[in-house]
Amino acid sequence: MNKTVLITGSTSGIGLGIAHQFAKEGYNIMFHGLEANGLDIAKKVGDKYKVKVAFSNANLLESTAVENLVQETIRSFGTLHVLVNNAGIQFVSPIEEFPNSKYEAIIALNMNAVFYASKAVWKQMKEQQFGRIINVSSVHGLRASEFKSAYVAAKHGVIGLTKVLALEGAPFNITCNAICPGYVKTPLVEGQIKDQALAHHMTEDEVVEKVMLKKQAVKQFVPLEAIADMALLLAKDSSTTITGTSFVLDGGWSAQ
């Protein structure tokens, strides 16, 4: 039987990279994201790898939307084996000017939705004595950068939550781990490159070299495939003792 994975935010960037790798391995995929062409993206991947797909564009800022997304996945596929909590947003501002609404949205999506989705999959995973929860945190779950108060708080929170779920899931073969990437070239980062080039009066190449990759020892963006391969490993049956930990793919950033 093909296993089923729900990947939040899988119609763009890291989530889409993870979806490709899981589809290649024969997983059925619940796609999710706000991109207008989300359904087409899902169908293309389904056709390419001959796996079953469905798509939802639920806005995950509300707890009920997160719960409904999980229930819709279980209804569509009859089961759910792997949950990848990946959807996330960013906003950069000094704390004095940080809009409360942006802070609240980042905490809601990047952290609270991880709690609500994990809570909602629990019954199914417990009953089937198999579950893999993979949280896409960030190197900012372990390290801080100025002007990213909401993001850093949310990503640190996700790592704490990951540890608790690992402990609670252990008796039921439910594992929970976090992946902590450094910079990955996705739409989320491409937006930041443009904004920072304007703010610092630099070219986009200078922003990449002098601002973004400054803290990474390996002066490259983290490839999508590396993150997807890590997620695939964590989802395996044989990964039952890998739990409660964070896998850091940050080009050496946090080694300093």
Q: Which residues are catalytic?
A: 151
Round to whole Å and give the CA distance between 175 and 172.
Answer: 9
Based on CB atoms, which residue is closest to ligand NAD, 109 or 176?
109
| Beta carbon nearer to ligand NAD, 130 or 140 | 140
Longest dimension (CA), the chain: 56
* Residues found near ligand NAD in the complex (CB under 6 A): 9, 11-15, 33-35, 59-61, 86-89, 109-110, 136, 138, 181, 183-184, 186-189
CB of 171 to ligand NAD, least distance (A): 29
| CA-derived radius of gyration, the chain | 18
* 113 vs 125, beta carbon nearer ligand NAD: 113
Shortest Å distance, C-beta 69 to ligand NAD: 9
Shortest CB 209 distance to ligand NAD, Å: 16
φ, ψ of residue 154 to 5 degrees: the values are: -65, -45
Q: Cβ contacts of residue 81 below 8 Å, gap of 6+?
A: 3, 4, 5, 125, 128, 130, 131, 132, 235
Report the distance separating Cα 82 and Cα 19, nearest Å.
12
- Could you tell me the smallest distance in angstroms from the CB atom of residue 223 to ligand NAD? 11
Name which of 40 and 237 has its Cβ closer to ligand NAD: 40
Tell me the one-letter amino acid at 10. Answer: S
